[in-house]
Amino acid sequence: MGSFVISKRKNGEFQFALKAGNGQVILSSEGYTTKAACENGIESVRKNSQDDKRFDRLESKNGKPYFNLKATNGQIIGNSEMYESVVARENGIASVAKNAPDATVKEELE
């Protein structure tokens, strides 16, 4: 089962990472000024990850596939790592859709 891990950046902002059952990060968030905003971001991922149209399938300048997950307002709520292939990116999207709805929330704020 997946988990959302809330952590704090050096600049004091909160962020979350969605990890698959094997511990691999499959989606990372932007920085949030408050923990409550970060938790709202997690709820947005839970909801929006169930709609395939919310995933922007992109390619970096060096040709690596990756994706962004967007909210209904078009704002990016999470992005993926760089993948070696389009197939790997699609597997990453499927993993987010599978893990996000029931993922537990953990805090690593120290």
Q: What is the pTM of this model?
A: 0.93
pLDDT digits (tens, 9 = 90+) for 76-98: 999 999 999 999 999 999 999 99
CB neighbourhood size of 69 (10 A): 24
% residues pLDDT > 90 (the chain): 96
Confidence of residue 32 (pLDDT cuts 50, 70, 90): very high
Q: Are 107 and 14 in contact (CB under 8 A)?
A: no
